[in-house]
Amino acid sequence: MKFVSLAMLASLAASALALPAHHGRGHHGGHHGHQGDVYKKHTIRAKGIEASFMEYGAIITNLWVKDKTDTYRDIVLGWDDTTQYNLNAQHPYFGPIVGRYANRIKNGTFTLDNQTYHIPLNEKGFDTLHGGDVGFDRRNWTVVDKADHSITFAMHSPDGDQGFPGNVDVKVKYTLTDDQEWAVDYEATTDKDTPIMLSAHTYWNLDAFTTSDTAFDQVVQIKADKYIDTDGYLIPTGDFVNVDGTPQDFRLPKAIGKDLHQSKSCGDNCTGYDNAWVLSHPSPDEPQMSVYAPSTGIAVDITTDQVAMQLYTCNGLDGTIPVKKTQTYHGKQQFVQQYGCYVIEAENYIDGINNPQWGEEHTGIVRKGETYTQHTKYHFSVKK
């Protein structure tokens, strides 16, 4: 793997500092290709914020906001060569929309309307992760609308896709606002009853790898009194765990690294966080989760109409994936280390389809003729 020279790194950093709203930061280090190329970046902008996406996976490849020195920082992880989102064998789900059913489904089976369905066991042969072998993250979406501040992607998932019933049509709209907000609006319809749970699987680092190769100092708050109990395969047991006295207590702001090494509820032989917190008072009008990087001053407040938030602290990364050139400053980190990032997923109760005791509203079942919707918003600010 080649890395840019220090002079080029300095030039990249300087360009990120100086470029105005139409500067094209979203084109650093990417594969652009010809018109119709699913790996081509599409960039939208608003005051103080810019983001790039591509049709493959409806993936976010770059997200630029200002830090406390008024420098633009790219705060999401990904690949410089955008074909690697598809071709790289590690496939960590960098930045796509995951579905038809996000997170895990126990044993790759579920029963709906007295019929049992079998879907791919694409996680170590034990369960289904993020919709199967060819989930929505590996599909070619289509840009159906684009404006300066927004872009809408659409795709069709046919009846029987990965074993799921029903023809499903999906749209995802990404919008930036002059209040430094990134909004994600989801909509899906089906002609048969089917489980649908979508989520943006964005990898974050609000430090943008400027001062540390871990996210230990970044501060998280989650407004949740309990989380979903899981087994060694991260499959829900059907129970909930009160966060009192556990490393999973983020009701008050807390650095990710403070209790991380005491957190073992993330699967067999795992240390870190990979849990779904049940929001205590779900509301789309108030932040349900917040993250802050003291090093850059960048903060994000997340509002959603969903009832759970999953936090994964990159426990499985091992230093073999390169940091994007937009994030390699002063010749520092060149590979993403374990705990060097985190994923935040706004979603319903995980594997609710196999836990009907939680109520049908948590199963993810969308009935024929109904419309699945979700709205999640990320509001960025700077603490100086």
Per-position pLDDT tens, the chain of length 384: 332 333 333 333 333 333 333 333 333 333 333 346 999 999 999 999 999 999 999 999 999 999 999 999 999 999 999 999 999 998 999 999 999 999 999 999 999 999 999 999 999 999 999 999 999 999 999 999 999 999 999 999 999 999 999 999 999 999 999 999 999 999 999 999 999 999 999 999 999 999 999 999 999 999 999 999 999 999 999 999 999 999 999 999 999 999 999 999 999 999 999 999 999 999 999 999 999 999 999 999 999 999 999 999 999 999 999 999 999 876 665 899 999 999 999 999 999 999 999 999 999 999 999 999 999 999 999 998
The Cα-based distances of 71 to 19, 37, 296 in angstroms read 9, 31, 9
Q: Whats the size of the chain, residue-wise?
A: 384
Segment holding 11, helix H or strand E: helix 6-18
d(CA 25, CA 292): 23
Amino acid at 218: Q
Could you tell me if 376 and 347 are in contact, meaning their C-beta atoms sit under 8 angstroms apart? no
Catalytic residue among 345, 360, 361, 362: 345
| pLDDT at residue 333 in the model | 58
Cα separation, 24 vs 72, whole angstroms: 12
- Dig out the tokens for 119 from the structure: 């879907």
Reply yes or no on whether 281 is catalytic. no
Check if the beta carbon of residue 164 is closer than 8 Å to that of residue 119: yes
Task: Tell me the C-alpha distance between 215 and 209, whole Å.
Answer: 9
Instruction: Give the residue from 298, 302, 236, 233 showing the smallest Cα distance to 269.
Output: 233
Handedness of CA 307, 172, 95, 166 (dihedral sign): positive
Q: pLDDT at position 7, please?
A: 34
The predicted pLDDT at position 12 comes to 33
pLDDT at 36: 65
Taking alpha carbons only, the member of 95, 141, 51, 175 closest to residue 41 is 51
- Going from the C-alpha of 49 to that of each of 64, 168, 203, 381, the distances in angstroms are 6, 32, 17, 11
DSSP 81-149: STTHHHH-TT----S-EE-SB-SEEETTEEEETTEEEE---TBTTTEEETTSTT-GGGSB-EEEEE-SS
- Exposed/middle/buried for 167, CB within 10 Å: 0-12, 13-18, 19+? middle
Do 154 and 188 touch, CB atoms closer than 8 A? Answer: no
Q: From residue 253, how far is each of 218, 219, 303 by CA, in Å?
A: 10, 6, 16
Q: Find where tokens 């871990």 sit.
A: 214
345 is catalytic: yes
Place of tokens 């084109």: 27
Catalytic residue from among 55, 201, 347, 362: 201
pTM: 0.90
Rounded distance between C-alpha atoms, residue 93 and residue 203, angstroms: 9
Q: Which DSSP string corresponds to 266-281? A: SSTT--S-EEEEEESS
Identity of the residue numbered 223: K
